[in-house]
């Protein structure tokens, strides 16, 4: 339908359109003007999306939340039923009595007061982000200016208390948990230290590394002595074998003995004299026989002296063997001592690492305990009050101008809709365009309206 056709329909049914329009406008205006006045009070909060400086070092990167998500979360908390219940508890006694009177008048006691009051507060209150920053507006509606301001301020205080409780309550629960863990970690540390101390007393470990170095140096010295004694014993054993054999007179001790050298020299002189006397006097001469007896005596003395010196080599060999056996036994005992100390050091090292691990665990628990205690003693949340709500001067509703515009719009829409509905049910020809539309033929001529004479 074209605008011309619509205007023709309105002109044809102007009485009906005017009646409906007038009735609707009057009804809407009456409803808007007779509605009781409502006042809206607004409090302003500033929410800091930065992480808590106390909890941030422990939370790390995982504890950082986006600013937009954090602000949206805080707005959801503001609108939550828990905040509404706390705001209801924070209202003054006259306000609660007023709410109870309204509850009794509306429900006659058929529903519980607290759920009804919480629902009314949620309907009358609201929270929204004022802009892209962290400013949040908390508003409340009431039939009285003072009541609206009190509701808004109670809502803000309830939100601040709730956020503080949400931060402090888990921290206090964690504090109790970490106190228990600290006692367990302390007992574990004391037990580990007790085992280490008992093992050190049992093994006699005071300065393990220093004593082990001393014992190792002592074992190295015994090893050097053992090597030297083995060489000496091998040399004395070979000389002992030589002394007990046919080559005892070739021993260095025998060759270097002064008595043996003197006896050999004396034997040489006696042999020379015996040879001279034998040549000059003959073998049977008494001087020759005497000289020969003296030579035999000197040789016996030489042999006896040689045996004596050679027996001294055997004594040295026995002494070397005894010293070698003693040194070997001392070396084996020292090596066993070093091995035992190394084993004790390794065991003590394990016990020491257990103590260090227990100490680290205890320190970590103490650190978290101190952290949670600080969090549990927090006195503020992420929000700060930028401005408390004050009693508004003028009501927020109803708006007379808005009511007039709304009445005019609704009246026009309803009157036009009724006229069009009746026109579609009972179609009439009201203009030349209707003739062409109904007959589906082109319009050739249109006669002007002829004014009729007045009767």
DSSP track, 336-359: HHHHHHHHHHHHHHHHHHHHHHHH
Average pLDDT over residues 411-437: 70
Check whether 423 has a pLDDT greater than 80.
no
pLDDT digits (tens, 9 = 90+) for 152-188: 888 888 888 888 888 888 888 888 888 888 899 889 8
| CA-based nearest residue to 122, from 83, 159, 150 | 83
pTM (2 decimals)?
Answer: 0.53
Span 94-107, average pLDDT = 85
Residues 178/180/185/187 CA torsion (nearest 10 deg): 160
What's residue 62's pLDDT? 37
Say whether pLDDT at 42 is over 50. Answer: yes
pLDDT at 59 over 50: no
Mean pLDDT, all residues of the chain: 76
314 vs 223, higher pLDDT? 223
Answer for the pair 274, 291: CB distance below 8 angstroms, yes or no: yes
Nearest CA to 333 among 197, 223, 247?
Answer: 223
Taking residues 42-57, report their average pLDDT: 71
Asked whether the CA dihedral 242, 246, 251, 253 is positive or negative, the reply is positive
Q: What is the pLDDT of residue 60?
A: 44
| pLDDT for res 204 | 67
| pLDDT confidence of residue 64 | 44
> In this predicted model, which residue has the larger pLDDT, 379 or 71?
71
Contact predicate 151/122, CB 8 Å: no
- Positive or negative torsion for Cα 11, 13, 19, 24: negative
* Alpha-carbon distances, residue 386 vs 48, 76, 126, 274 (angstroms): 12, 19, 17, 143
pLDDT score, position 12: 65
């Amino acid at each position: 339908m074209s605008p011309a056709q619509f205007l023709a329909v309105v002109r044809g049914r102007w009485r009906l359109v005017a009646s409906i329009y007038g009735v609707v406008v009057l009804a809407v205006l009456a409803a808007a003007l007779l509605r009781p006045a409502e006042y809206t009070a607004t409090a302003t909060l500033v929410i800091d999306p930065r992480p808590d400086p106390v909890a941030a070092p422990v939370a790390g990167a995982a504890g950082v939340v986006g600013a937009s998500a954090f602000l949206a979360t805080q707005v959801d908390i503001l609108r939550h039923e828990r905040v509404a219940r706390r705001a209801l508890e924070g209202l003054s006694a006259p306000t609660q009595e007023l709410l109870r009177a309204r509850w009794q008048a509306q429900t006659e006691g058929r529903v519980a007061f607290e759920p009804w009051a919480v629902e009314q507060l949620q309907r009358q209150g609201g929270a929204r982000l004022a802009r892209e920053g962290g400013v949040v507006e908390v508003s409340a509606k009431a039939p009285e200016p003072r009541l609206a301001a009190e509701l808004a301020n109670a809502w803000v205080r309830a939100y601040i208390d709730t956020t503080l409780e949400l931060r402090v309550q888990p921290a206090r629960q964690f504090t109790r948990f970490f106190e228990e863990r600290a006692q367990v970690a302390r007992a574990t540390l004391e037990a580990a230290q007790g085992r280490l101390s008992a093992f050190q007393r049992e093994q006699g470990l005071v300065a393990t590394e220093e004593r082990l170095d001393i014992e190792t140096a002592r074992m190295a010295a015994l090893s050097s002595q053992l090597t030297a004694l083995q060489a000496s014993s091998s040399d004395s054993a070979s000389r002992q074998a030589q002394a007990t054999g046919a080559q005892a007179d070739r021993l260095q001790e025998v060759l270097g003995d002064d008595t043996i050298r003197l006896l050999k020299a004396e034997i040489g002189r006696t042999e020379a004299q015996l040879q001279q006397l034998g040549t000059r006097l003959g073998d049977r001469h008494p001087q020759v026989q005497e000289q020969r007896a003296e030579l035999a005596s000197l040789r016996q003395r030489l042999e006896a002296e040689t045996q004596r010196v050679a027996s001294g080599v055997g004594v040295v060999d026995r002494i070397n063997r005894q010293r070698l056996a003693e040194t070997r036994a001392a070396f084996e005992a020292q090596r066993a001592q070093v091995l035992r100390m190394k084993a004790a050091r390794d065991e003590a090292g394990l016990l020491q690492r257990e103590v260090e691990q227990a100490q680290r665990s205890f320190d970590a628990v103490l650190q978290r305990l101190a952290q949670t205690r600080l969090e549990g003693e927090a006195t503020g949340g992420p929000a700060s009050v930028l401005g408390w709500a004050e009693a508004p001067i003028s009501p927020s509703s109803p708006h007379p101008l808005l009511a007039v515009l709304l009445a005019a719009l609704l009246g026009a829409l309803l009157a036009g809709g009724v006229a069009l509905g009746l026109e579609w049910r009972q179609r009439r020809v009201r203009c030349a365009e209707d003739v062409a539309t109904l007959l589906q033929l082109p319009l050739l001529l249109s006669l002007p309206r002829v004014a009729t004479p007045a009767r």
